[in-house]
Amino acid sequence: MKHNLFFATLLVGFVSVIMGWVLHPREESPQPETMPLVPMMQQLLTDMHQVDIGIYTEDFELIEEGAGNISDHPTMTEKDKKLVKTTLGAEMEQFVEYDMIVHHHADSMRLAALQENMQEVLHHYRIVQQGCVNCHSNYRETISSARLKDGN
């Protein structure tokens, strides 16, 4: 009996996630497809602020939108991509890894907001935040000075 209850709960949880996907697919994002690195980062900060407000006021729609914008954030312009690639060389792989962590967990945060599950929102929020900071600690200064040297 206990087992049945466990599986029933699991099933309900699973079905509600699927329903979330089906009934509330991510709306067409109004963001541009590519953006220079710095304004794109500033936008990410604005999105994190929006998520923060959603968390502290328990406004799940704000969280859903902010997290969705983070997970669908524009890619770098070709010019910036080239700059980052030549600056980082083999380290590029790790850079991309941090980016993927942010994308992935921002989307999980969005889905948790759809389910109004604040604990899950926070769980993924912390991973996203760690991803932002890890990338900055490792690469921000190097890339920033390469960009300045490059004259843009």
Please give the residue ranges that form the binding site for ligand HEC (CB under 6 A). 37-38, 41-42, 44-45, 48, 70, 95, 98-99, 102, 128, 131-132, 135-136, 139-140, 143-144, 147
Q: Which is nearer to ligand HEC, 17 or 101 (CB)?
A: 101
- Interaxial angle between packed helices 37-57 and 141-149, expressed in degrees from 0 to 180 and rounded to the nearest 10: 140
Q: Which is nearer to ligand HEC, 118 or 146 (CB)?
A: 146
Q: Which is nearer to ligand HEC, 60 or 139 (CB)?
A: 139
| 76 DSSP assignment | E
Using alpha carbons, list the distances in angstroms from residue 55 to 63, 76, 144.
7, 28, 31
Amino acid at 31: Q
CB of 4 to ligand HEC, least distance (A): 42
